[in-house]
Structure 1
Amino acid sequence: MELPFGAERKMWGRLWSLLFSFLTATAVPGPSLRRPSRELDATPRMTISYEELSGTRHFKGQAQNYSTLLLEEASARLLVGARGALFSLSARDIGDGAHKEIYWEASPEMQSKCHQKGKNNQTECFNHVRFLQRLNATHLYACGTHAFQPLCAAIDAETFTLPSSFEEGKEKCPYDPARGFTGLIIDGGLYTATRYEFRSIPDIRRSHHPHSLRTEEAPMHWLNDAEFVFSVLVRESKASAVGDDDKIYYFFMEREEGSSSFTQSRSNHRVARVARVCKGDLGGKKILQKKWTSFLKARLICHIPQYETLRGVCSLDADTSARTHFYAAFTLTTQWKTLEASAICRYDLAEVQAVFAGPYMEYQDGARRWGRYEGGVPEPRPGSCITDSLRSRGYNSSQDLPSLVLDFVKLHPLMARPVVPTRGRPLLLKRNVRYTHLTGTQVTTPAGPTYDLLFLGTADGWIHKAIVLGSGMHIIEETQVFRKPQPVENLVISLMQHSLYVGGSSEVIQLPLSSCSRYRSCYDCILARDPYCSWDPSTHACVAGTTIANRTALIQDIERGNRGCDSSRNTGPPPPLKTRSVLRGDDVLLPCDQPSNLARALWLLNGSKGLTDGQDGYRVGVDGLLVTDTQPKHSGNYGCYAEENGLRTLLASYHLMVRPATPAPAPQAPATHGAQLAPDMRLLYVLAIAALGGLCLILALSLLYVACLQGGSRGRQRKYSLGRAGRAGGSAVQLQTVSGQCPGEDDDGDDGEGTGGLEGSCLQIIPGEGTPAPPPPPPPPPPAELTNGLVALPSRLRRMNGNSYVLLRQSNNGVPAGPCSFAEELSRILEKRKHTQLVEQLDESSV
């Protein structure tokens, strides 16, 4: 397909390719990329606009910023924390109207104090609910910023009401609603990570626990201006052969202090980190009292370390440590912010554990930089959790560890080796997209294999549904979930409700995890490669595999996406045959919409001849096939096919007839004979005209006489009145002479007395009691199909060259107004042929 590209697009495309080619060589240590970056830039197969959504439900209360979501599958409730409010929604249907709500606003006095501190009273001086977790069997625990004076509350889950008293939240919740924050309640203990106070340093803390702990601040900060993104509990003690402890992993960004000559020139250079602590940590006895003794952190890199910003993390299989892995979303931005992209990387827990078991880094005061520690490491190994082996040696808790070990932990929190992605490369690189949040689940297909399915939220309100296939990702579809662009702030999956919940600044959206009925044929069903969808030969429909008892009969091909439909007789209803007729020498457009962004349009004439763009008057584009200067050889049957992944699907078929041009009929001269009038009829017409002229003369003399009479009594004022001017409230039409005065001008002190109160001498129409004129009829609706086969195409997002998109818009006259393949060219052609003679009796789309 030939698509228009400007010089600027080509220039930035070359710059992007050169940048990635240059940086890929030194991006990630380990195995080199075996595929170029452009192959990692997956294109979403389907584009679903907001108007095309189906099966969605919405919730919008009297609040904003629905950013905190907590799903409780057992009670089928979705709990939502917003700005100044909390909501308890039905997980089955969040828009059923039977929700419960709590309004938890900051008082006007608190808002005033917040504003006096220099904070924004339009965004910051409110109570933003940042933390919402299950506390115990009967209560929930919530914390809010409360106009920069954080508060926490234990909420009765059954009645969903606030308590009479609140807890101080300074040690549990951030002041700033925009500050990065993550928190968990584990076995009654509250594990949070953020910058708590206004001018404090970031911290990882444990409260509501007999042994409250926090990170160390001296002689060096363990955390350097950190922004936390995600935290998760991994049950590493479950079925552990060495009696290991459960661990909490934290993912964050922080400012790096001179680790290389490159970063020394950039004092604000920030890097991604992963840190861990042991759940059974009790702190030290004399050293590191009330501080973590198991805190370790390591560098987390994905593709281009110097330009990466961690945006979101999700974990899968956290209950089974042997299979636990993480997915992280990064944005890649150059120093000049001229190019932006997103990357998705996978990290296996075993690789993270290996890094924490490796060598340490040491901060060298003289060089003011971190360097690899080459000295001896004391025993037990610093930063490790208590295991059966340590218990057998008398170390039953962290308080039994030697001072030498604790001193080492205090000065060596950073590991030497970075955590690199699985197989040393990202799974996905997406240009011109900024991912803000992600979540995932594992789906077992009817054939048996299990796949990771991810949902990626963007900064402009779209959801990318993607499946992980080997060393890459296939984006099944992209969906616009918000009418107005806004960042996706949270994502939660409910397997029991088969729903995805999306939190945004304006509302909460509930989407089905799959919409298999969207695929109408077997080919379309398997090409989607959606692990939830399979083709059922018995019903000739694409169905969700979980709803079918005999799952072995279903057709699905996730790995290749093109096998299994050969034996299926019914691959979907064929498209109807449409007839088009056109005069010889004119142009016609045969529309064909490609629903898949990965498909290539193929046009066949009479089932065999392939049509090439630019030859024999054919132009192939995203809108369809344009035939210019039609000739008899262009008549025949046209089929529009979609070629994708080795499969060919018929989308539209036309029968085109080219008719010979009909010459215009010659104009006929007016008849000159047989039109003579009889002499007596001529005399009658003359007499009638003379009578009418006499009547006009008499009327003119009468009017002149009346004017003279009024002129003698009125002086210079010359005004004529016609109709019911004297009737109160009546309608009147008044005629004034041109030489009279307009409103606002006086004539010798005469204000118009005796003329019915009319001022001036301009034409005035005074409304009366008559029935007002009916409003004009509404304009007729635009035709569904215009001349030359042009149809009123809906606005939709279309693909250009596999990676870029162009928005096609339909103007009022039916001609595409936005950038498309034929719009301007077709308009110019039709303008030149405006006076072409058309067939007298046209069919549905003739030209």
Structure 2
Amino acid sequence: MAFNVAFNALYLVLCTAFGAAEFGPAPRITWHLKETNLMHFHVSGISNYSTLLLSEEKDVLYVGAREAIFAVSSLNVAEKLHEAYWKVSDEKNNECAWKGKSKQTECLNYIRVIQPLNDKTLYVCGTNAFQPTCDYLNLTDFRLLGRNEDGKGRCPFDPAQSYISVMVDGELYSGTSFNFLGSEPIIFRHSSQSQLRTEYAVPWLNEPSFVYADVIRAPANNPEGDDDKVYFFFTEVSVEYEFFSKLLIPRVARVCKGDQGGLRTLQKKWTSFLKAKLICHSSENNLIFNVVSDVFILKHSDSSEPKIYGVFTSHLNNVGLSAVCAYNVSTVEEVFAKGKYMHSATVEQSNTKWVRYNGEVPKPRPGACINNEARAMNYTSSLNLPDMTLQFVKDHPLMDDSVSPVGNKPKLVLRDVIYTQIVVDRVKALDGNSYDIMFLSTDKGILHKAVSQDAEMRIIEEIVLFPHLQPVQTLLLSNKEGKRFIYAGSNTGVVQSPLAFCEKFTSCKDCILTRDPYCAWHPVKRSCVNILQDSTADGSLIQKLNGDASQCPDSAEIQKSMKHTVKSRSTVELKCSQKSKLANLVWQFSNKTLKAELPKYHLLEHALVIFNITDHDAGIYECVSQEEVGNIKVSQVLIKHVIELEKVPTTLKSTAHPYTQTEAKSQITTIPAKVLDFSTWKKTTAQILTSPVAFTSVSAKIQESTTPLTEMHSKVPEVQIEKAMYLTKPSDCSLLIFLVLLFGLLFMILLVYNCYKGFLPNWCLRIRTFLFSGKQKAPPDFPDCEQGVKENLVESKLTPSQYDDTQKIPHDTGYETELDYGNGTVPHTGKTDEDQPFDVKCDLKYADSDGD
């Protein structure tokens, strides 16, 4: 047995090391903030909106934030109704800071508990600078009563610590930490009659992280006479086995509502506390999800069995995977009622600490609620249970059997997504079947809506809730008939979202293809409606969750059309946007599929680019969306683009108008001279210039004409005046002329500058010398300069200096003199003065330098 447990633990660590394929479905549609216009609630200077409580009877949503409690309308969270502030005193703030906590963040009052006590009072608790305190909020005037009860066991000390709470029949059940350091976890019940808690022992709770708590009522008139039970869900460090690091295990724990504690053993402690391991394992991909992030218990009004939905992540493989597993409550109850217990044991050469207990189990069964079987044995309360049963519960709170999910596999596994919260709604579709709709929030501020149908999990859509990709800290679902919303709280505010966006689908096929159980096509209104809100359909709504859109009327298809008039040899971009990520876009031209390839076509994500358009490219282009749903392929035209070529005016050709040069001249000479003013001359010239005839001696002929102007217009061939004006318009060449003049000016400036500096050939130097002839000095002759230097050196040697004792050091000429080589290894040959080298000191003046 020990070997099997150790093997399972090893498998838990190593099985996730194998590669995994692509996981999970992709969201079909993404709704961004600008598309949804969701309602937001936020108060300046207030943060951490992490506690939500909904009163469906009053249509009020209560929001607990940092040092503030708000009441907003549940129909529009942007409408604030009331507010109450609960701030920390300066004394407590300083005391908290003295203990080493942050004065600006940790040493404040974070509202962590908001639970209804009665119709007029809320029970609220806050961290209160690491001194948890509880108070009562009067809903009549929305003011705190100021009782300030000790909140230990009901509210955490540290705002970063996990916590859960639920109010059951006026009694508060909570899971949190009981001390300042957070080292004493506790599941606590606070009531005026009895206060119970868990045993402070590692087998009971070992560093738990609480995520959810709720009550499940026992069925009325059940044959076992069972009690109501409160379930707690958390992740804790394993006590069964350990390796080089702590191994996290997801747990479900249960206590009975009627538990009163033991009389001697387990005094003021739970006598019905048991816990078991939750299994969320994907055998197809060898992945185990061992951290539970959130849980939601779906309770049905038809008194059917509740179902538990849990969101899990993997602490072992760390590859960014999330999973959703569903459990039947009956499966959990069977583990607690009939499962084997575990007990502590020492096994040599093994990492296993706890093994299955195979010994005798005392009666009544340890951890069971007081039911008909216990009453038959004269045990009507936990206070009179035998010590043997209570001692067994104290030593064996952990069950050996695990809780397996429905279908023994996750309902959903998704990569690169970290789910934080979950709520589930059940809706009855038009086909008569009921579907569980899961709303899953992420650490990026996004909400996924998923549904399981025919063993297939689909993500219908994803909704962006917050603009800055912040984690969703709490999620709440409204079940009120006709007023159903999702409320999400984060560090910066609260967002209200509808359950569906049916009205955004403008065609019947779009409405059907979304396969949303909330949505159906209304053929009379010609719109997509929510079946829970539209009660005037009278059975005429169209809803096919298999994606079959064959029943959609053709008249319901609304097609957009765009017309493009382009020039020949130009480029045009045809845009087409598709919301569905599961559909493919296909372009059709003249009712034939277009093969979009370069160099003629370039296909973009949301557009088609056509290059070098000719007459053959004119026509109708259709953007078609094709989406496969099972074995059905649904196609619909999203938009039509009509391309027409711009009609370019052409000049008059001689073949069309066979006028001769003589006829043209005779027509021109019929223009009277007296009516040819400037405007007439300009217009007539433009008309004449466009005619393919000769224009020699036109002015002379015009002066001799006496024919009326109207007669001339009737004889002159019709030409395109606009085209002529376009050709003769001087502004068309203005840019070219400007560029030519600019480059010419720059060239002249560069030429003059180089000529001035002497960087150009001799002809430029001559011009420059001529311009600066009065200032330029003649360059010295190099041989004369050298001869002068020689004479000066000879005279300096023959003429004695007034400083005879000082030898004059000659200039460095670059040659090796007698003094130089005398100090070296070259022997002296005794040459005369005439053979010795001499220094040349001459100021050279170049022809291109400026003279002084």
TM surpasses 0.5: yes
* CA distance in structure 2 between the aligned counterparts of 1:350 and 1:301, rounded to whole angstroms: 15
Of 29, 49, 55 in structure 2, the residue corresponding to residue 72 of structure 1 is 55
Counterpart check, 1:596 vs 2:575: no
1:142 counterpart residue number: 124
2:28 is aligned, of 31, 45, 53, to: 45
* Alpha-carbon distance in structure 1 between the residues aligned to 2:550 and 2:42: 40
Q: Distance in 2 between matches of 1:243 and 1:159?
A: 43
Which residue number in structure 2 is paired with residue 341 of structure 1? 321
Count of aligned pairs: 630
Shift of 1:247: 0.5
CA contact (8 A) 2:38 2:495 kept: no
Pairwise CA distance, 1:84: 0.2
2:441 equivalent to 1:461:
no
Letter in 1 for 2:133: L
Taking the aligned partners of 1:350 and 1:25, their CA distance within structure 2 comes to 31
TM-score (structure 2 length as normaliser): 0.70
Contact 2:423 2:476 survives alignment (8 Å):
yes
1:572 paired with 2:518, answer no
Based on CA coordinates, which of the two structures has the bigger radius of gyration?
A: 2
More helix per residue: 1 or 2?
Answer: 2
**Could you say which residue in structure 1 is the equivalent of 2:278?**
300
Indicate the residue corresponding to 2:184 in structure 1: 201
1:387 to 368, 371, 392: 371
Match of 2:269 among 291, 295, 306: 291
* Contact 1:555 1:565 survives alignment (8 Å): no
Name structure 1 gaps, 5 residues minimum. 1-21, 29-35, 675-847
Relative to structure 1, the CA distance from residue 370 to residue 227 in structure 2 (aligned partners, 3 Å threshold; closer, same or farther) is: same
Give the alignment of 1:781-820 within 5 angstroms.
Answer: none
For residues 758-808 of structure 1, the C-alpha deviation after alignment (integer angstroms, 9 at most, x for no partner) is xxxxxxxxxxxxxxxxxxxxxxxxxxxxxxxxxxxxxxxxxxxxxxxxxxx
Letter in 2 for 1:362: H
Q: CA deviation at 1:57?
A: 4.3
Larger RCO, structures 1/2 (Cα 8 Å, 6+ apart): 1
- Aligned pair partner of 1:264 in 243, 262, 268: 243
Q: CA deviation at 1:661?
A: 11
Amino acid at match of 1:648: S
> Quick one: which of 101, 124, 144 aligns to 1:162?
144
Query: 1:346 corresponds to which letter in structure 2?
Result: A
Instruction: Look up the equivalent residue of 1:563 and give its one-letter code.
Output: D
Preserved contact between residue 280 and residue 288 of structure 2 (Cα < 8 Å): no
Task: Tell me if the contact between 2:549 and 2:634 (Cα under 8 Å) persists in the aligned partners.
Answer: no
Contact 2:203 2:239 in 1 (8 A): no
What's the counterpart of residue 535 of structure 1?
521
Alignment match of 2:217 (pick from 232, 235, 242): 235
Gaps of 5+ in 2: 1-10, 652-688, 690-696, 699-852
- Cα distance between partner residues in 2 of 1:207 and 1:483: 39
1:726-783 deviations in whole A, cap 9, x for unaligned? xxxxxxxxxxxxxxxxxxxxxxxxxxxxxxxxxxxxxxxxxxxxxxxxxxxxxxxxxx
Matched with 1:108 is 90
Shift of 1:359: 1.2
Hey, what does 2:474 align to over in structure 1?
Answer: 490
Q: Partners of 1:157 and 1:65 in 2: how far apart? A: 22
2:496 to 501, 510, 515: 510
| Paired amino acid for 2:382 | S
Structure 1 residues 400, 284: CA separation in 2 closer, same or farther (over 3 Å shift)? same
Aligned to 1:216: 199
SS in 2 for 1:135: strand
Write the mapping of 1:667-686 to structure 2, written as runs, cut at 5 A.
none
State the Cα distance separating 1:566 from its structure 2 match.
2.5
Whole-angstrom CA distance in 2 between matches of 1:463 and 1:280: 38
Residues in 2 aligned to 1:291 and 1:40: alpha-carbon distance in whole angstroms: 45
Distance 2:84 2:622 in 1: 59
Instruction: Give distance in 2, aligned partners of 1:591 and 1:388.
Output: 72
Deviation at 1:446, TM superposition (A): 3.2
The Cα of 1:423 is off from its aligned counterpart by: 0.5
Cα distance per residue 1:542-595 (max 9 Å; x no partner)? 11113223452111122x1x12543524333111143253533x5433211111
User: What does 1:412-811 align with in structure 2 at a 5 Å threshold?
Assistant: 412-496=396-480, 497-546=483-532, 547-558=534-545, 560=546, 562-579=547-564, 581=566, 583-584=568-569, 587-607=571-591, 609-614=592-597, 617-628=600-611, 630=613, 632-644=615-627, 645=629, 646-657=633-644
Give the secondary structure class of the aligned counterpart of 1:288.
coil
CA distance in 1, matches of 2:324, 2:556: 35
CA distance in 1, matches of 2:302, 2:205: 29
TM-score normalised to structure 1 length: 0.70
Q: 2:76 aligns with which of 62, 77, 93?
A: 93
Given that 2:568 and 2:612 are in contact with CA atoms closer than 8 Å, whether structure 1 keeps it comes out as no
Shift of 1:92: 2.0
Distance 1:542 1:80 in 2: 33
Whether the 8 Å contact between 1:612 and 1:620 is mirrored in structure 2 is no
Secondary structure at the residue paired with 1:102?
strand
Q: Using the alignment, how far apart are the partners of 1:319 and 1:172 within structure 2?
A: 30
Q: CA RMSD in A?
A: 3.0
Q: Distance in 1 between matches of 2:316 and 2:400?
A: 26
In 1, Cα distance between the equivalents of 2:589 and 2:162?
60
Pick from 158, 164, 173 the counterpart of residue 191 of structure 1: 173
Distance change >3 Å, CA 551–CA 144, structure 1 → 2: farther
Which AA in structure 1 matches 2:341?
Y
Report the Cα distance in structure 1 between the residues aligned to 2:219 and 2:376, rounded to whole angstroms.
17
The 10-residue stretch of structure 1 (117-126 or 627-636) with the greater mean CA deviation from structure 2: 627-636
Aligned partner of 1:355 among 327, 335, 342: 335
Alignment CA distance shift 1:45-1:203 (3 Å): same
**1:589 and 1:167, CA in 2 relative to 1: closer, same or farther beyond 3 A?**
same
Does structure 1 conserve the Cα–Cα contact (< 8 Å) formed by 2:217 and 2:228? yes
8 A contact 1:322–1:349 mirrored in 2 = no
Tell me how far apart the structure 2 counterparts of residues 288 and 409 of structure 1 sit (CA, whole Å). 9
One-letter identity of the residue aligned with 2:35? E
Deviation at 1:471, TM superposition (A): 3.3
The 8 Å contact of residues 242 and 387 in structure 1, kept in 2 or not, is answered as: yes
Q: What SS is found at the alignment partner of 2:144?
A: coil
Asked if 2 retains the 8 angstrom alpha-carbon contact of 1:322 and 1:350, the reply is no
Paired residue type of 2:211 = V
Partner residue of 2:361?
Answer: 377
**Contact map agreement 1:522 1:565 (CA 8 A) in 2:** no
Q: Give the match's secondary structure for 1:204.
A: strand
Contact kept in structure 1, 2:235 and 2:291, CA below 8 Å? yes
